[in-house]
Chain A
Amino acid sequence: MKQKYWYDYLWIASVAYLLLGFFNILFAWLGLLCFFIPLLLAIFGKDKLYCNRYCGRGQLFSLLGGRFGLSRKRDVPYFLKTKAFRYGFLIFFFIMFFQMLWNTYLVFSGAQDLRQVVTLLWTFRLPWQWAYQVETVPLWVSQFAFGFYSVMLTSTVLGILTMVLFKPRSWCVYCPMGTMTQLICQVKHQEK
Protein backbone atom coordinates (compact mmCIF):
# COMPACT_ATOMS: atom_id res chain seq x y z
CA MET A 1 0.00 0.00 0.00
CA LYS A 2 1.41 3.30 -1.05
CA GLN A 3 1.62 6.15 1.38
CA LYS A 4 -1.30 8.57 1.19
CA TYR A 5 -0.86 12.30 1.19
CA TRP A 6 -3.29 15.09 1.95
CA TYR A 7 -3.78 15.70 -1.75
CA ASP A 8 -5.06 12.16 -2.24
CA TYR A 9 -8.24 13.27 -0.49
CA LEU A 10 -9.09 16.18 -2.76
CA TRP A 11 -11.99 14.15 -4.15
CA ILE A 12 -13.78 15.18 -0.95
CA ALA A 13 -13.47 18.80 -2.06
CA SER A 14 -15.00 17.86 -5.41
CA VAL A 15 -18.01 16.24 -3.77
CA ALA A 16 -18.32 19.10 -1.28
CA TYR A 17 -18.34 21.60 -4.14
CA LEU A 18 -21.28 19.93 -5.86
CA LEU A 19 -23.18 19.61 -2.59
CA LEU A 20 -22.56 23.21 -1.50
CA GLY A 21 -23.88 24.49 -4.83
CA PHE A 22 -27.06 22.64 -4.10
CA PHE A 23 -27.62 24.71 -0.98
CA ASN A 24 -26.15 28.05 -1.90
CA ILE A 25 -25.27 28.84 -5.47
CA LEU A 26 -22.65 31.40 -4.48
CA PHE A 27 -20.29 28.56 -3.57
CA ALA A 28 -20.03 27.95 -7.31
CA TRP A 29 -17.45 30.74 -7.41
CA LEU A 30 -15.02 28.41 -5.66
CA GLY A 31 -14.94 26.40 -8.89
CA LEU A 32 -12.72 29.09 -10.38
CA LEU A 33 -9.93 27.45 -8.38
CA CYS A 34 -10.23 24.41 -10.66
CA PHE A 35 -9.68 26.74 -13.59
CA PHE A 36 -6.88 28.92 -12.38
CA ILE A 37 -4.74 26.52 -10.35
CA PRO A 38 -4.07 24.10 -13.25
CA LEU A 39 -3.30 26.97 -15.63
CA LEU A 40 -1.02 28.76 -13.18
CA LEU A 41 0.82 25.53 -12.33
CA ALA A 42 1.32 24.81 -16.03
CA ILE A 43 2.49 28.34 -16.78
CA PHE A 44 4.86 28.49 -13.81
CA GLY A 45 6.87 25.40 -14.55
CA LYS A 46 4.90 22.69 -12.79
CA ASP A 47 3.63 21.24 -16.08
CA LYS A 48 0.63 18.97 -15.49
CA LEU A 49 1.05 18.63 -11.74
CA TYR A 50 -2.61 19.50 -11.26
CA CYS A 51 -3.84 16.54 -13.34
CA ASN A 52 -1.14 14.29 -12.00
CA ARG A 53 -1.64 15.03 -8.34
CA TYR A 54 -4.33 17.46 -7.28
CA CYS A 55 -7.34 16.94 -9.52
CA GLY A 56 -10.17 16.02 -7.16
CA ARG A 57 -12.54 15.18 -9.95
CA GLY A 58 -10.12 12.66 -11.42
CA GLN A 59 -9.73 11.09 -7.99
CA LEU A 60 -13.51 10.93 -7.58
CA PHE A 61 -13.94 9.12 -10.91
CA SER A 62 -11.10 6.83 -10.06
CA LEU A 63 -12.75 5.99 -6.73
CA LEU A 64 -16.29 5.52 -8.09
CA GLY A 65 -15.20 3.64 -11.17
CA GLY A 66 -12.39 1.73 -9.52
CA ARG A 67 -13.08 0.80 -5.94
CA PHE A 68 -16.86 1.12 -6.18
CA GLY A 69 -16.86 -0.76 -9.47
CA LEU A 70 -19.17 1.63 -11.31
CA SER A 71 -17.20 1.41 -14.53
CA ARG A 72 -17.23 -1.14 -17.34
CA LYS A 73 -13.49 -0.49 -17.74
CA ARG A 74 -13.60 -0.69 -21.51
CA ASP A 75 -11.36 1.19 -23.89
CA VAL A 76 -12.60 4.61 -24.95
CA PRO A 77 -13.49 4.88 -28.63
CA TYR A 78 -10.50 5.95 -30.68
CA PHE A 79 -11.94 9.27 -31.85
CA LEU A 80 -12.17 10.51 -28.26
CA LYS A 81 -8.40 10.67 -27.93
CA THR A 82 -7.65 12.26 -31.27
CA LYS A 83 -6.34 15.82 -31.33
CA ALA A 84 -9.27 16.84 -33.51
CA PHE A 85 -11.84 15.80 -30.93
CA ARG A 86 -9.91 17.09 -27.93
CA TYR A 87 -9.28 20.50 -29.48
CA GLY A 88 -12.81 20.58 -30.85
CA PHE A 89 -14.26 19.89 -27.42
CA LEU A 90 -12.02 22.56 -25.91
CA ILE A 91 -13.26 25.12 -28.44
CA PHE A 92 -16.87 24.08 -27.85
CA PHE A 93 -16.31 24.44 -24.14
CA PHE A 94 -14.83 27.89 -24.63
CA ILE A 95 -17.78 29.03 -26.73
CA MET A 96 -20.19 27.85 -24.04
CA PHE A 97 -18.06 29.50 -21.39
CA PHE A 98 -18.08 32.85 -23.17
CA GLN A 99 -21.80 32.58 -23.71
CA MET A 100 -22.11 32.16 -19.96
CA LEU A 101 -19.94 35.24 -19.41
CA TRP A 102 -22.10 37.14 -21.88
CA ASN A 103 -25.22 36.21 -19.90
CA THR A 104 -23.49 37.45 -16.78
CA TYR A 105 -22.75 40.72 -18.56
CA LEU A 106 -26.37 41.08 -19.69
CA VAL A 107 -27.53 40.75 -16.10
CA PHE A 108 -24.83 43.18 -14.99
CA SER A 109 -25.96 45.75 -17.54
CA GLY A 110 -29.59 45.26 -16.63
CA ALA A 111 -30.58 43.98 -20.08
CA GLN A 112 -31.60 40.61 -18.69
CA ASP A 113 -33.12 39.34 -15.47
CA LEU A 114 -31.38 36.88 -13.21
CA ARG A 115 -32.31 33.34 -14.16
CA GLN A 116 -32.28 30.98 -11.22
CA VAL A 117 -31.69 27.89 -13.28
CA VAL A 118 -28.83 25.46 -13.74
CA THR A 119 -28.47 24.46 -17.36
CA LEU A 120 -27.42 20.84 -17.70
CA LEU A 121 -25.61 19.68 -20.84
CA TRP A 122 -26.16 23.15 -22.37
CA THR A 123 -29.79 22.23 -22.94
CA PHE A 124 -31.83 21.23 -19.93
CA ARG A 125 -32.88 24.00 -17.56
CA LEU A 126 -33.15 22.67 -14.05
CA PRO A 127 -35.02 24.79 -11.50
CA TRP A 128 -32.53 25.73 -8.78
CA GLN A 129 -34.16 28.67 -6.98
CA TRP A 130 -33.77 27.07 -3.53
CA ALA A 131 -30.05 27.68 -3.72
CA TYR A 132 -30.63 31.40 -4.08
CA GLN A 133 -31.33 33.18 -0.82
CA VAL A 134 -28.95 36.09 -0.76
CA GLU A 135 -30.05 39.32 -2.23
CA THR A 136 -27.18 41.20 -0.66
CA VAL A 137 -24.83 40.56 -3.57
CA PRO A 138 -25.22 42.14 -7.03
CA LEU A 139 -27.40 40.12 -9.39
CA TRP A 140 -24.58 39.44 -11.86
CA VAL A 141 -22.59 37.73 -9.10
CA SER A 142 -25.40 35.24 -8.68
CA GLN A 143 -25.90 34.89 -12.43
CA PHE A 144 -22.25 33.98 -12.85
CA ALA A 145 -22.60 31.46 -10.03
CA PHE A 146 -25.57 29.78 -11.70
CA GLY A 147 -23.69 29.74 -15.01
CA PHE A 148 -20.48 28.42 -13.56
CA TYR A 149 -22.22 25.75 -11.56
CA SER A 150 -23.91 24.68 -14.79
CA VAL A 151 -20.49 24.23 -16.39
CA MET A 152 -19.20 22.21 -13.46
CA LEU A 153 -22.30 20.03 -13.15
CA THR A 154 -22.42 19.40 -16.88
CA SER A 155 -18.80 18.32 -17.04
CA THR A 156 -19.25 16.10 -13.98
CA VAL A 157 -22.27 14.41 -15.57
CA LEU A 158 -20.36 13.88 -18.81
CA GLY A 159 -17.44 12.52 -16.82
CA ILE A 160 -19.66 10.11 -14.90
CA LEU A 161 -21.24 8.96 -18.14
CA THR A 162 -17.92 8.09 -19.75
CA MET A 163 -16.69 6.69 -16.42
CA VAL A 164 -19.55 4.16 -16.49
CA LEU A 165 -19.15 3.34 -20.17
CA PHE A 166 -15.37 3.27 -20.42
CA LYS A 167 -12.39 3.53 -18.06
CA PRO A 168 -12.97 5.32 -14.70
CA ARG A 169 -10.99 8.41 -15.64
CA SER A 170 -12.12 8.63 -19.28
CA TRP A 171 -12.97 12.26 -18.60
CA CYS A 172 -9.22 12.97 -18.43
CA VAL A 173 -8.93 12.04 -22.10
CA TYR A 174 -11.09 14.94 -23.27
CA CYS A 175 -11.07 17.23 -20.23
CA PRO A 176 -10.75 20.79 -21.60
CA MET A 177 -8.49 21.82 -18.71
CA GLY A 178 -6.22 18.87 -19.38
CA THR A 179 -6.08 19.68 -23.07
CA MET A 180 -5.30 23.30 -22.26
CA THR A 181 -2.53 22.54 -19.78
CA GLN A 182 -1.01 20.03 -22.20
CA LEU A 183 -1.05 22.73 -24.90
CA ILE A 184 0.70 25.13 -22.55
CA CYS A 185 3.36 22.47 -21.90
CA GLN A 186 3.78 21.89 -25.63
CA VAL A 187 4.38 25.58 -26.23
CA LYS A 188 6.73 25.88 -23.25
CA HIS A 189 8.86 22.88 -24.15
CA GLN A 190 8.94 23.52 -27.88
CA GLU A 191 12.48 24.78 -28.22
CA LYS A 192 14.54 21.82 -27.24
Chain B
Amino acid sequence: MGKKRAVVDQRLCVACGCCVKVCPLQTIVVQQGLFAVVGDKCVGCGKCVKECPASVIQLEVSEP
Protein backbone atom coordinates (compact mmCIF):
# COMPACT_ATOMS: atom_id res chain seq x y z
CA MET B 1 0.00 0.00 0.00
CA GLY B 2 1.31 3.42 -0.94
CA LYS B 3 0.84 6.55 1.08
CA LYS B 4 -2.40 8.46 0.75
CA ARG B 5 -2.35 12.14 0.19
CA ALA B 6 -4.80 14.93 -0.68
CA VAL B 7 -4.34 16.55 -4.07
CA VAL B 8 -6.04 19.82 -5.06
CA ASP B 9 -7.14 20.61 -8.59
CA GLN B 10 -5.80 24.14 -8.49
CA ARG B 11 -7.42 25.21 -11.74
CA LEU B 12 -10.86 24.82 -10.20
CA CYS B 13 -10.11 25.68 -6.56
CA VAL B 14 -12.10 28.71 -5.36
CA ALA B 15 -9.75 29.39 -2.42
CA CYS B 16 -12.60 29.50 0.10
CA GLY B 17 -10.51 27.90 2.82
CA CYS B 18 -13.01 25.27 3.99
CA CYS B 19 -10.25 22.65 3.75
CA VAL B 20 -7.99 24.74 5.97
CA LYS B 21 -10.65 24.81 8.68
CA VAL B 22 -11.11 21.04 8.81
CA CYS B 23 -7.51 19.88 8.42
CA PRO B 24 -6.56 18.17 11.70
CA LEU B 25 -2.85 18.64 11.00
CA GLN B 26 -3.20 22.21 9.75
CA THR B 27 -1.10 21.31 6.78
CA ILE B 28 -3.25 22.79 4.05
CA VAL B 29 -3.10 26.50 3.29
CA VAL B 30 -4.67 28.88 0.81
CA GLN B 31 -1.80 30.37 -1.13
CA GLN B 32 -2.08 34.02 -2.17
CA GLY B 33 -5.85 33.79 -2.28
CA LEU B 34 -5.57 31.70 -5.44
CA PHE B 35 -5.77 28.03 -4.50
CA ALA B 36 -5.16 25.56 -1.68
CA VAL B 37 -1.79 23.89 -1.29
CA VAL B 38 -1.35 20.64 0.64
CA GLY B 39 1.66 20.47 2.94
CA ASP B 40 4.11 17.66 3.66
CA LYS B 41 2.39 16.49 6.82
CA CYS B 42 -0.72 15.30 4.94
CA VAL B 43 -1.67 11.75 5.90
CA GLY B 44 -4.62 11.50 3.55
CA CYS B 45 -7.37 11.45 6.18
CA GLY B 46 -9.81 12.80 3.62
CA LYS B 47 -11.55 15.42 5.76
CA CYS B 48 -10.82 18.19 3.27
CA VAL B 49 -12.04 15.96 0.44
CA LYS B 50 -15.43 15.68 2.11
CA GLU B 51 -15.60 19.35 3.07
CA CYS B 52 -14.52 20.98 -0.21
CA PRO B 53 -17.63 22.73 -1.60
CA ALA B 54 -16.27 22.53 -5.12
CA SER B 55 -15.18 18.90 -4.71
CA VAL B 56 -11.80 19.61 -6.25
CA ILE B 57 -9.70 17.69 -3.68
CA GLN B 58 -9.02 14.01 -4.15
CA LEU B 59 -7.01 11.39 -2.35
CA GLU B 60 -4.22 9.93 -4.38
CA VAL B 61 -2.15 6.91 -3.51
CA SER B 62 1.49 7.15 -4.36
CA GLU B 63 3.21 3.94 -5.30
CA PRO B 64 5.67 2.77 -2.63
**A interface residue numbers (CB < 8 A to B):** 42, 47-48, 51-53, 58, 62, 73, 75-76, 80-82, 86, 166-173, 178-179, 181-182, 184-186, 188-189
Could you say which residues of chain A place their CB within 8 Å of the CB of B8?
Answer: none
Could you say which residues of chain B place their CB within 8 Å of the CB of A48?
Answer: 15-17, 30, 33
Interface contacts (Cβ under 8 Å), in number, total 74
Indicate if B27 sits at the interface (CB-CB under 8 A).
no
Contact A52 B53 (CB under 8 A): no
State the majority secondary structure of interface residues on A: helix
State the majority secondary structure of interface residues on B: loop
**Which residues of chain B in 27-61 are interfacial with respect to chain A, using CB atoms and an 8 Å cutoff?**
30, 32-34, 50-56
CA distance A52 to B54 in the complex (A): 15
Could you say which residues of chain B place their CB within 8 Å of the CB of A171?
Answer: 53
CA distance A167 to B14 in the complex (A): 14
CA distance A163 to B31 in the complex (A): 26
Could you say which residues of chain B place their CB within 8 Å of the CB of A173?
Answer: 14, 16, 53-54
Contact A81 B54 (CB under 8 A): yes
**B interface residue numbers (CB < 8 A to A):** 12, 14-18, 20, 30, 32-34, 50-56
Contact B17 A75 (CB under 8 A): no
Closest chain B residue, CB of each to CB of A75? B55
Contact B53 A169 (CB under 8 A): yes
Given contact pairs A52-B20, A167-B55, A170-B53, A47 touches B14 in the complex (Cβ within 8 A): no
Given contact pairs A47-B32, A73-B50, A181-B33, A62 touches B18 in the complex (Cβ within 8 A): yes
